Structure 1
């Protein structure tokens, strides 16, 4: 479940090790409410399971479904535990800096990560709606090293909507432009990009998602009109991210469309984007100059 961040956000001072402050996010009072709800649901589930099991009653007549009852108790414990954790962490603050991120509680640093200490990065974003109305965009950022999670952030932010947009699901229009967490995403991904740029330079193939791949020469769509064909970077007209999906255009048509939530998508995308921009620049330099009009 994505966590709603409190507002407004105070200015974040620089960190002695992590550099300039970018943004600070907190769980806010909503964490207590959600925690209490989970704790209550967990307790109700446990009580119902224990009462229905017949434990503590003469004959234990209902033990025939004991596996189901034990499962209910376990689920109740898990839900209750999650509720307690949320209530304990409601005061946690996630402070994002130029070089890394910290998690603090009551002014004490509980966890810290430099972006260059991670090997893998996964970023997932999704818009949430209630009764057809947009309520916020959830974001999950997970850093891994050696296959193990070393830091994770779950939060929510609000995107700007175009004026006059209909408040109806799938018809709401959002303002295209930098979003609240874009700067953090870029900084964290750029640190890992050289690894994938080097892989492309060595002739390796990178998967972008949904089977679509890229190498140093171009892109190979896994579906669509150019399925299985290598499309050179010079022939790519545009690469853009919209609604958390990558859209690649060539020959006036969309040849690739894939989600951005895959493991290491963002650092790989920036490495591929570098190849594309270099090809476009080289193509512009090779193009013959137009004679001035008389």
Structure 2
């Protein structure tokens, strides 16, 4: 009752970790540490790419954008989690909740589009190497990134606008650590049919199309790799794609667990575990995934003044 008495009718309660009071200090330390590693790792990637002329290529331009998105991702979710754990005030205003949902969706969609763009870049580099400079010239790269930013924000804004029209049930208790779409739909007392149809349509546009692009690109890449006569040559070609494939698997694997299931069968516990992975763990791992197996990146990181 203590938490409930601190809220107003316009507030939501983020109760994701309230059932683990004895583990609050441990969770605070873990999330703070992971957030700092995420920020430092991704900022180092951006600094290394910006300071090394050898990394001023389309592949690393897209990687710098991905690192920037992951940094923003961490800033959108983790600070509120840390404040809630530290103060034990688990409230968030209606406006704050919608803003968090908006930026979370926009950054997730942007990640989605950018991973598809990176897959296309690897396809052109490996399957059409003679045309790479002509196809992936700077203007094309800027256009692809700008289109990704524009589409992601427009799609996120449309869903946030629809969500802002909902009325919510009296409890206002969200069994999650941030304002995500599935738990908010569970609390809605309004008719959510239009929202769910819109979300499904956007999922096809922003989920299936980029994923199809990734799968088609890598099917062509794998066929090209198989034609390489030497084992060393195959390993060299595939090594340029291994990091990206790892990130794609982590990203889509956790998203499928949460979003590609009926809202009626949504499990708060499963959703929270998957959400921790793609909102906190994956952004933290990305700098390691892209740098540990990349000698150019390692050299650039060591040469940072």
* TM-score for both structures, normalised by structure 1: 0.28
Q: Which has the higher helix share?
A: 2
Q: Answer 1 or 2: which has greater strand percent.
A: 1
